[in-house]
Every structure is written in C-alpha cells, then in structure tokens.
Amino acid sequence: MAKNMKGKDLISLLDLTPEEIDQILDTASFLKRLHYTGEPFRPLQGKTLGMIFTKPSTRTRVSFQVAIYQLGGMGIYLGADDLQLGRGETIADTARVLSRYLDGIMIRTFAHDDVVQLAEHADIPVVNGLTDLLHPTQVLADLLTLREKKGRLAGLKLTYIGDGNNVAHSLLFGCAKMGVNLTLATPAGHEPLAWVVARAKEEAARRGCQIELTDDPRAAVQGADAVYTDVWTSMGQEQEREQRLKALQPFQVNARLMAHAGEDALFLHCLPAHRGEEVTDEVMDGPQSVVFDEAENRLHVHKAILALVM
C-alpha cells in the first residue's frame, strides 16, 4: 500500500489528501473483488471495533459490523443507553477508557464536536459514521460507485438536489478533493453552510473543478453525470418536518427532472429514501438508479477504512 494510514482518524474528508482517498477507493475495489472470489482476508484478527450510535442506522451499523467480522475482528455495538456517557461521564474520559480496550471506534452522533473531542482524547483511530455536520464514509462509497460506473472521477459533473445537509457537506469536500464538478440546487434557507462551501471552493480551485450553488433544479441537472438526493428531514430535525416538506417540494427528483439530466445520468441516494418525498418510485426503481450498488459499496469501503487505519 502506497501510504501508511495506520492510526489515522476519519472525521472529515477535508482531512484526507486525494491520494489517501484514492488509496481507500483502490483498497475497497480490491477487497470487493476478493469478497466475490470468496477468499478470506483477515488482517484484523483479534482486533475489536467499538461502534457508538446515538442515532438509528441500518446501513452504517450492519455494514461496519459485517466489515470488522469479515476482516477477522469483532464489533461491539454501543447504543445511546449502553454507555455512562448518557449519565454524565465526559467524552474525554470515555475516549481514554475505550482506548485501553478497543483498537478502533466508529461513532454516529448529533454534535460534530463530540466526535472531534473523542478523537482528540482517544489513542486509537476514530471513524465518523455521521454527525449533524458530515457523513464522510457515505461519500467515500458514493465516490467508489461513481468511479465504478463512469470509469473515472475527475471531470465528472454531480448534481445534488434538495437539503444542504450533512451528506451535501461531505459531497462538497469529497468532490472538491477528487476533481468532481458539483452543482447543488437547494431552496432558500436550506443551503449548505457557507464555511463548508468556502472551504470546498478553495479545494476545488486547487484541483481545477467547479462548485456551483443554485435554487433551480432543472438548470442544475443539465449535463449531469449523476443526480443525487437525500431526505428532506434529517435525524434530529423531526419537528421541522412540515416546513421542510413545503420548502423542498419543488426539489423532488422525479422522472421529469431526470429527463432534463439525460439518459446517461445515474441516480444516487445515500438511503434511507422517503419515497414520494425527495424521490419518486419511478426514479428509485428506474434504470438509472444505482442506489443499492451504492449501499453495497458501504461494506467494501468500510472494510478498506478499517483495514487501513486499524
């Protein structure tokens, strides 16, 4: 392997170099091929991954647990009520204690700063499995899917339609790092955070790709190699659901919108999908949709991350 990533945290794609992202994607492709040959590969025998979840999960939870198992290690699921964190033990002390037992931590929670703090005080690698701000492991799987389907990353055009949320933020960083042109169409009041856009634009300028923001979904999908959307109401925003449904309705990805993108455009969604809201059945189940390949790639990417950092 080109570069030693042992011990490295994965908190934000902004912290990775394009070479490191390439290394994760190359390792994921290698492990995916190996997986299909049925040949065992157990570099993490005897190692344990703690998996902290204070939000629900289907894909992240199951794919990380399967990933560590297939690599020869063991995963321990730690739910919101399982740790003393919920009863006032500090994040720093939790990090110090877990470092004495575990070889790695994957965490999904609300406040991004909690993950940053955990990583600061842990002596073992910490992987961000989603915060209110970012979802980096998702976007690594998205990049792998795009690369598999389109044969390259640099120079592609990805269009994100909908809420400027954690997934949109990680797409901004991931696309900018890998030279993918990204257009985001979001309604007023639901734009991605200004500092995230500014940092992504700095990176994009270095790689010679474009980041564009608009409130016009039709114009945004013109010439897109892939159209991406996510739920309008993220975990933790449930009380804003009615307002969000109204504001985001014109941003639904349906057959009419996909027609503006053209036949070669893929459809991506991190899932879970709220069918009938941000995306219609015809698009989810249509020929352009690669959402289940994308979900599968979470497993291969997570195996790559764990094998590289643990």
So which residues are the catalytic ones? 108, 135, 138, 230, 270, 298
* Contact call for residue 60 and ligand CP (CB under 6 A): yes
- 58 counts as binding ligand CP under rule CB under 6 A: yes
CA 156 to chain centre: 18
Stretch that binds ligand NVA, among 207-215, 219-227, 229-237, 291-299 (CB under 6 A): 229-237
Omega before 272 within 30 of 0, i.e. cis: yes
Classify burial at 238, counting beta carbons within 10 Å of its beta carbon; exposed 0-12, middle 13-18, buried 19 or more: exposed
Of 111 and 271, the one with the shorter C-beta distance to ligand CP is 271
The reply on whether position 57 binds ligand CP by CB under 6 A is yes
Q: Which does 58 bind (CB under 5 to 8 A by kind): ligand CP, ligand NVA, none?
A: ligand CP
Structure tokens, 230:
């996510």
Is 52 within 8 Å of 105 (Cβ atoms)? yes
* Residue whose CB is less far from ligand NVA, 22 or 230: 230
Is residue 270 within the footprint of ligand CP (CB under 6 A)?
yes
Q: Is 138 in the site for ligand CP (CB under 6 A)?
A: yes
Q: Contacting ligand NVA (CB under 6 A), which of 230, 277, 278, 294?
A: 230
222 binds ligand CP (CB under 6 A): no
235 to 254: interface string for ligand NVA, x by CB under 6 A? x-------------------
**CA 133, 137, 143: angle at the middle one, nearest 5?**
110
Q: Does 143 bind ligand CP (CB under 6 A)?
A: no
Q: Which does 34 bind (CB under 5 to 8 A by kind): ligand CP, ligand NVA, none?
A: none
234's contact among ligand CP, ligand NVA, none, with CB below 5 to 8 A by partner kind, is ligand NVA
Token digits for 6?
């042992």
Residues of the shown chain interacting with ligand CP in the complex, contacts defined by CB under 6 A = 57-60, 130, 138, 270-272
